[in-house]
Structure 1
Amino acid sequence: MRPVAGSGLLVVGDVVTDVVARHRGALAAGTDTVAAIRTVPGGAGANVACWAAHAGCRDVTLLGRVGAESARWHEAALVAAGVRPRLVLDDEAPTGAVICLVDEADGAERTFLTDSGACLRIGPEDWSAGRLDGVGWLHLSGYLFFSATGRALVTAAVRDARARGVPVSTDPASAGFLRELGTARFLALADGVDVLVPSRAEAALLAGAAGPEEAGAKLSGRFPVVVVKAGPDGACVARGGVVRERVPAPSDVVVRDSTGAGDAFTGALIAARLCGDGWREAVVAGCRAGATAVGRVGGRPPERRGPT
């Protein structure tokens, strides 16, 4: 797998509205808990695209499905982040929404309440091989794997990408949803993916192994490259059943909200590879982006002007 410098990135995945509630300590059941609450654009797929653009990828496109009620807001946010939006309007379902409960007293640990809405309805009718024109890398958000129509899109997209020699990456997205789907089913559906980018918990679940390095090594017997994100413990790269690179996380990181940190890592990693960087340099870039992300509220990088 050899990335092509200057080629475009196509991300297919979820676009959601995040309601981030930052509180301190346990929630008070049956009454009020003081919190700082913000509504921000989010979604793992959209976040990856925005962080890739922020990291210097100059040609980033996002394919997603949204409800008509917030389509213009999401489109404007993507454009401001330097991403070319290709949003399919759903007339029957609203844009997905996630309530992110962030406990500031517990390392900004997150709990999600998720209504996937229109995201679950993206499907093969929204895909065509022509979407890969000018694309040098395809990233499929793991949330696609959790609906029947999304899985059908994954199958078609991976088939068309392989026919064109376009590298494909994916992230398992959610350990909770992964348990519901079944690890064997996910692994079968992900057959043909070149780069798997799981979190520590997702890697352990998929591999049946406790540590990120052990899990990454085991999974790399199935995928050409596995990059395991381990948060404050950095990340590792495994190929051919062996851990090839170990990268520590940046020190002295101030954590405000860990929402989207993994998406930031993935976006920066892909951008670095598309620019021709080696795996170690790409993982270093990913760790830096993740460290930046946890210092911000919400899952997106600072806004900048981008393509229209």
Structure 2
Amino acid sequence: MSAALLVLGEVITDIVARHTAPLAPGTDTAAVIRTVPGGAGANVACWAAHRGAPDVRLLGRVGATTAAWHQRLLTAAGVRPHLVVDPHAPTGTVISLVDGGAGAERTFLTDSGTAPRLGAADWTDAFLDGVARLHLSGYLFFTPSGRGMVDAAKSSAHARGVPVSVDPASAGFLGDLGADRFLALADGVDILLPSEGEARRLTGRTDAEGAAAQLSRGFPLVVVKRGARGALVARDGAVRARVPAFPVARTEDTTGAGDAFTGAFLAALLRGSGITDAVTEGCRAGARAVSQVGARPVRGTDGTQGVDGTDRVQGVQGVQGTDVMRGPHGTDGTDGGPC
């Protein structure tokens, strides 16, 4: 029986700068700075593997300099990476400025590098062999090449009866693309997983529940991620469940919390969980993600350290192998770290 999850999306090098004082324009601001692996697609894959998905695969695009580093870390996280190495563009880099205050809000400075070049030419139907679910990062929708990949992968998945999920990924980029265009490109998707801000952007609604309900008229299942307010589950034009968040002792970094939610949610579905239970697992992983620095799960934990382990369902209302593929002119990348 097919049990694999295939994720299509970004592999990114994250530079996380955590500052406790307000940024001081024109001079220095003290910060703790770390270089860590990231990327929405890669983060989802790592969290899915961490939360028990038995076979997680990732198709992404990287530059030659950091290819081996990303390959090694993905494999160590339990993900089977299929990485297309681009000899002409570097791996994407994101500088994340994290406010050390209580909310740990972050601001991103993004150099997409080779990530937007992932396209239909990188796709083959064989990627779906043994795959039970396909997940698409919303960032693919924001570039012409990525949209070609979306069309090719969706077409193959529909032909094989593989359900498809999408996380819209960025309210800002949605504004640039336009809600109507995104929704048209996502037509035929089985599960839409927007944040509250993305749901509002896609519908023009100011209330999360109204936005979730409206979106569920166009998609079989909509799960709206609301951070500290938990999540909404909508089907057939109505909100069907309100799942509470898990409290955390301290919010360290909100980077990747939505990716953690999505990965854990998909892992739970692959294990046979019902929708509400899977959403609860997503909330659990999101709480874990914000209690640490960095967007990937910390190895050696069960994903709940620092998170209230109370059974939240009571509160609900109503590595097998690695491929590094050559880019257009061929290179497999040998440098061992980010630089």
1:244 — aligned with what? 240
State how 1:122-201 maps to structure 2 within 5 Å: 122-201=118-197
Residue range with higher mean Cα deviation, 250-259 or 132-141 = 250-259
Secondary structure in 1 aligned to 2:34? strand
Instruction: Measure how far apart 1:105 and its partner are.
Output: 1.6
- The answer to whether the aligner puts 1:93 opposite 2:79 as a matched pair is no
- The answer to whether the aligner puts 1:292 opposite 2:288 as a matched pair is yes
**Equivalent position amino acid for 2:289 in 1:** A
Q: Summarize deviations over 1:215-253 as a string: whole Å, max 9, x none.
A: 111000001100000000000110000111110001244
Secondary structure in 1 aligned to 2:114? helix
Structure 2 CA distance for aligned equivalents of residues 25 and 187 of structure 1:
40
Structure 2 CA distance for aligned equivalents of residues 212 and 278 of structure 1:
23
1:278 — aligned with what? 274
8 Å CA contact 1:50, 1:267 repeated in 2: yes
2:326 — aligned with what? none
| Structure 2 spans left out of the alignment, 5+ residues | 301-318, 322-339
8 Å CA contact 2:106, 2:254 repeated in 1: yes
**Equivalent position amino acid for 2:296 in 1:** R
Structure 1 CA distance for aligned equivalents of residues 296 and 64 of structure 2:
22
Secondary structure in 2 aligned to 1:105? coil
State how 1:50-61 maps to structure 2 within 5 Å: 50-61=46-57
- The answer to whether the aligner puts 1:15 opposite 2:4 as a matched pair is no
State how 1:217-232 maps to structure 2 within 5 Å: 217-232=213-228
Q: Summarize deviations over 1:258-300 as a string: whole Å, max 9, x none.
A: 1000000000000001111011100000000000000111100
Structure 1 CA distance for aligned equivalents of residues 11 and 207 of structure 2:
31
Structure 1 CA distance for aligned equivalents of residues 107 and 64 of structure 2:
27
8 Å CA contact 2:102, 2:251 repeated in 1: no
Structure 2 CA distance for aligned equivalents of residues 186 and 194 of structure 1:
15
Secondary structure in 2 aligned to 1:26? coil
2:332 — aligned with what? none
8 Å CA contact 1:69, 1:94 repeated in 2: yes
Structure 1 CA distance for aligned equivalents of residues 174 and 90 of structure 2:
24
2:310 — aligned with what? none
TM-score (norm 1): 0.96
Structure 2 CA distance for aligned equivalents of residues 272 and 94 of structure 1:
34
Residue range with higher mean Cα deviation, 120-129 or 245-254 = 245-254
Structure 1 CA distance for aligned equivalents of residues 21 and 238 of structure 2:
40
Structure with larger Rg: 2
Instruction: Measure how far apart 1:58 and its partner are.
Output: 1.1
Residue range with higher mean Cα deviation, 250-259 or 15-24 = 250-259
1:109 — aligned with what? 105
Identity among equivalent positions (%) equals: 63
Instruction: Measure how far apart 1:211 and its partner are.
Output: 2.0
Structure 2 CA distance for aligned equivalents of residues 165 and 252 of structure 1:
39
Structure 2 CA distance for aligned equivalents of residues 188 and 106 of structure 1:
38
Secondary structure in 1 aligned to 2:101? helix
Q: Summarize deviations over 1:20-69 as a string: whole Å, max 9, x none.
A: 00012420000000101000000000000000000000100000000000
**Equivalent position amino acid for 2:208 in 1:** P
- The answer to whether the aligner puts 1:261 opposite 2:257 as a matched pair is yes
8 Å CA contact 1:80, 1:303 repeated in 2: no
2:44 — aligned with what? 48
2:203 — aligned with what? 207
